[in-house]
Chain A
Amino acid sequence: MSEWRSSEAARGLALVGPTLLYAVAMLAVPLGAVLVYSFLTDGYLTIIPEFTLANYAEVFSDPIYRQVMARSLGVALAVTVATVVLAYPVAYFVAFHVRPERRSLWLFLITIPFWTSYLIRVFLWKVILGYNGVVNATLTGLGIIDEPLTFILYNVNAVVITLAHAYAPFAILPIFVALGKIDRTLLEAAQDLGESRLATFLRVTLPLSVPGVVAAVLIVFIPTVGDYVTPRLVGGPEGRMIANIIQLQYLRLDNYPLGSALAVTAMAIVTVIAVGFVLSLRRYLRVRQ
């Protein structure tokens, strides 16, 4: 028995071992380093190994960081809401109105944007939204506007549009899975008990799809808060987000401790928001179907 158990344990360890090593080396160690850096003193071009809370004091006192952090959260919130609201009907359509044998095809089509690199897709949005871009050329060509629109590129709007597009498939898939798990008889039961289709959706389908919506929200919200490429390429100066500021501190200003403190603070805020969100919906997440 003990032999079997130890061999079982050994096999398990062998299976998770490589991934564990990789995760420790590539995730835990750098994270630890960032955490340590954030408490060290900046000596301009060097790092003085003296414990200090000055970095955090600066992060919380300087209004520019607060503003950029707030903008990052605002952008992430807008992107999340736009993505999930637009993804839900697509997921609903595929789950309820596409014949089962066609569903794989639809899911495959939904993932087509992944065939192109993220970077190239961001550049494409530049082409679409630019001063002489597709949108402006079309609108001026049709005579709807005289001057090209300038509020669609190099600002927050462009960041939101680009990120929402990039993350759409990530939002569709978990919602689709949650909707697919719902027993269709429940919807019939609701109708049989006197509810219209809309009321059935609100009282049965929506609450039962909450786990998928929560997954979609987290999958979209967490990475977009810290997105670097999109605000860098289409955000312009006023679209700058927290990752751009962290990069600035690290690589331009060579201030590792302050950059680290910003990174740790951003992670902490995202964690608190994510945990709060999940806890607020835990009633729906506990449902066993």
Chain B
Amino acid sequence: MADPIIQLENVTKRFDDFEALKGVSADIREGEFFSLLGPSGCGKTTLLRTIAGFEAPTSGQVRIAGQDMAGVPPNRRPTNMVFQSYAIFPHLDVAGNVGFGLRRSPMSAAEKARAVDEALEMVGLAGYGRRAAHALSGGQRQRVALARALVLKPRVLLLDEPLSALDKKLREQMQGELRRLQRQVGITFILVTHDQEEALIMSDRIAVMFEGQIAQMANPEMLYRRPVSRRVAEFIGVMNFLPARVTASSPAGIEVEIAGLGRATLSGDSHAEAAPGEPPSVGIRPEMLTILFGNEPETGRVAEGEVREVVYYGDMTYYEIAIDGAPGTVTVSMRNLVNRPVLRRGERTRISWDERALILFR
């Protein structure tokens, strides 16, 4: 495999008495779509700004394309950024914005104009060059910001929560377009987002950050199926937790006694960190629990419970179900099919589950 385009080595950043980054190390590969995911204040934006050169690390090293970036200002780095606010220059028209960074390029004026047109075409804004900055919608501003960065052919494109200001429909559309654009230009994209769904949809790899540290770095599927800690599991998607007691543990498997589900044997590697001070628990995703309607035959193990809440989403229905013998409720998601009724609150139901979907947090 080629050398990583960005290497972060134990990067720390301290603002006065606040430690924003507490030793972040990561290799980001050439051409991958990489996301920094975490709640606000976790340091993801600081990390992106450190890569861009707007913040100097307090200690540690940032290498881009093998070169140490210490002391290299943002204007000398092979990175370009799409800012959260888009930072469209209000005194310039669209072409002026997109061509802003080309001033120092050795291209002729005609070549620059062509590059601007191509960049605008790439983001679906062909013919918008003469449009004034204030006459653009939110989605168009974002496309201009993208074109403005991509026209400079950076090695790495940095995106700071670029979709958070857009409404849901437009956001979903832009997610697809960003992904397509990244494949088309083939350069590394680093996306900062607090939206786990967005990160899962778009990324080749995701680094989940909490409190200035990377908690887990993996591809979306691994992150979802094998979270390393209860915190990551709670942040990525929905997970049900049931109190559990480990009765026997060997390399071959872990025997647990789960509230409401009974005994189960977990494979040796399906365990993760519990939150500090928390008793052990077993986690299972809502889609891994299946409601058995009417007298549908049992598959796998079965628990019984009462429906406490029904949330109908159109394509899916989410149930909150109190399982006999377990505290609280678990969330179960069911796809709505032709022959499948929607249960009502207070109804009794059977739920089938499978040992292989369980993760032990201890």
> Could you say which residues of chain A place their CB within 8 Å of the CB of B224?
none
Contacting pair B104 A194 (CB below 8 A): yes
Verify A284–B81 contact, CB threshold 8 A.
no
Give the distance to chain A from B210, nearest Cβ to Cβ, in Å. 26
Q: Which A188-229 residues have C-beta < 8 A from chain B?
A: 188-196, 199, 203-204, 207-208
B91 contacts the other chain (CB 8 A): yes
Q: Kindly state whether residue B200 has any CB partner on chain A within 8 Å.
A: no
Is B103 a contact partner of A195 (Cβ separation < 8 A)?
yes
Flag if B90 contacts A288 (CB, 8 Å). yes
The distance from the CB of A208 to the nearest CB of chain B, in whole angstroms, is 6
Interface residue? A183 (CB, 8 A) = yes
Q: Encode A87-130 as 1/0 by CB contact (under 8 A) with B.
A: 00000000000000000000000000000000000000000000
Do the beta carbons of B73 and A287 come within 8 Å of each other?
no
Asked if B235 is an interface residue, CB under 8 A from chain A, the answer is no
Specify which chain B residues have a CB less than 8 angstroms from the CB of A194 in the assembled complex.
75, 101, 103-104, 152
Contact assessment for A191 and B83 in the assembled complex, using a CB-CB cutoff below 8 Å: no
Are A185 and B104 neighbours in the complex by a CB distance under 8 Å?
no
- Counting chain B residues whose Cβ lies within 8 A of the other chain, the interface size class is 20 to 34
Q: Which listed residue (A195, A203, A284, A287) contacts B75, Cβ 8 A?
A: A195
Asked if residues B148 and A193 are in contact (CB atoms below 8 Å), the reply is yes
CA–CA, A189 to B87, complex, Å?
6
Nearest CB on A from B13, distance (A): 17
Docked CA distance A186–B88 (Å):
7
* Chain B residues numbered 73-110 whose CB sits less than 8 Å from any CB in chain A: 73-75, 79-81, 83, 85, 87, 89-91, 100-101, 103-104
Knowing A192-B75, A195-B103, say if A186 contacts B81 (CB, 8 Å): no
A185 to B101, CA, bound (A): 15
Q: Is the CB of A287 within 8 A of B91?
A: yes
Q: A185-B83, A185-B85 are in contact. Are A190 and B100 (CB under 8 A)?
A: yes
In the complex, B64 has a CB within 8 A of chain A: no
**B91-A192 in contact (CB<8A):** no
A288 CA to B104 CA in the complex, in Å? 27
Most buried by A among B90, B101, B103: B90
Within 8 Å by CB of A192, from B80, B90, B103, B104, lies B80
The residue on A at minimum CB distance from B160 is: A185
**Is A289 in contact with chain B by the CB < 8 A criterion?**
yes
B89 touches A186 (CB 8 A): yes
Which one of A189, A207, A287 lies within 8 Å of B81 (CB-CB)?
A: A189
Q: How far, in whole Å, are A121 and B90 apart by their CA atoms in the complex?
A: 41
CB-based A-B contact count at 8 angstroms = 63
Contact mask for chain A residues 165-195; partner B; CB cutoff 8 A; 1 contact, 0 none: 0000000000000000001011011111111
A129 to B49, CA, bound (A): 53
Q: Taking A192-B74, A194-B75 as contacts, is the C-beta distance between A183 and B101 under 8 angstroms?
A: no
Q: Which residues of B contact A192 (CB under 8 A)?
A: 52, 54, 74-75, 79-81, 149
State how many residues of chain A have any CB contact under 8 Å with chain B.
21
Residue B134 CB within 8 A of the other chain: yes
Which of the residues B74, B91, B134, B148 comes within 8 Å of A191, measured between beta carbons? B74
Contact B101 A284 (CB under 8 A): no
For the complex, what is the distance from the CA of A195 to the CA of B81, rounded to whole Å?
14
A-contact 0/1 string along B219-248, CB 8 Å cutoff: 000000000000000000000000000000
Distance of A207 Cα from B92 Cα, bound (Å): 10
B103 touches A287 (CB 8 A): no
A185 to B84, CA, bound (A): 9
Question: Which chain B residues border A193 with CB–CB below 8 Å?
Answer: 75, 80, 100-101, 148-149, 152
A186, A207, A284 interface centre (most CB from chain B within 10 Å): A186
Among B52, B75, B91, max chain A CB count under 10 A is at: B91
Give the CA-CA distance A203 to B134 in the complex, in Å: 18
Q: Is the CB of B103 within 8 A of A284?
A: no
In the complex, chain B residues whose CB is within 8 Å of the CB of A195 = 75, 100-101, 103-104
Contact check, A288 vs B89: say whether CB atoms are below 8 A apart. Answer: no
- Quick one: closest B residue to A206, CB to CB? B91
Closest B residue to A184 by beta carbon equals B87
Q: In the complex, what's the smallest C-beta–C-beta distance from B339 to chain A, in angstroms?
A: 54
Out of A183, A204, A284, A288, name the residue touching B134 (CB < 8 Å).
A288
Nearest-neighbour CB distance to chain A for B99, whole angstroms, equals 10
Determine the distance from Cα of A234 to Cα of B264 in the docked complex, in whole angstroms.
Answer: 99
Closest to B80 in A: A192
A288's nearest neighbour on chain B, judged by CB, is: B134
Distance (whole angstroms) from the CB of A194 to the closest CB of chain B = 5
Q: Please report which residues of chain A, range 262-289, place their CB below 8 angstroms from some CB of chain B when the two chains form the complex.
A: 284, 287-289
Is A189 in contact with B104, judged by CB distance below 8 angstroms?
no
Complex interface residues of chain A between 135 and 158 (CB less than 8 A to chain B): none
B residues less than 8 Å from A196 (CB atoms): 75
**Docked complex Cα distance between A189 and B100 (Å):** 10
A191 close to B89 (CB less than 8 A): no
Q: Are A189 and B83 in contact (CB under 8 A)?
A: yes
Q: Return chain B residues, CB-CB under 8 Å to A204.
A: 89, 91
Q: Check if A207 sits within 8 Å of B91, measured CB to CB.
A: yes
Please report the C-alpha to C-alpha distance between residue A288 and residue B91 in the assembled complex, in whole angstroms: 8
B87 touches A186 (CB 8 A): yes
Residue of A nearest to B105 (CB): A194
Q: Which residue of B lies closest to A186 (CB)?
A: B87
Residue among B79, B83, B90, B134 making CB contact with A188, cutoff 8 Å: B83
Bound CA–CA A186/B91 (angstroms): 11
List 9 additional contacts besides A188-B74, A194-B101, A208-B91; criterion CB under 8 Å.
A185-B85, A189-B89, A190-B89, A191-B75, A193-B80, A194-B152, A195-B75, A195-B104, A287-B90
| 3 closest Cβ pairs, A-B complex | A193-B101, A189-B87, A185-B87
Q: List 9 A-B contacts (CB under 8 A).
A: A185-B83, A186-B90, A188-B83, A189-B81, A207-B91, A208-B90, A287-B91, A287-B134, A288-B134
Residues of B at the A interface (CB closer than 8 Å) are 52, 54, 73-75, 79-81, 83, 85, 87, 89-91, 100-101, 103-104, 134, 148-149, 152
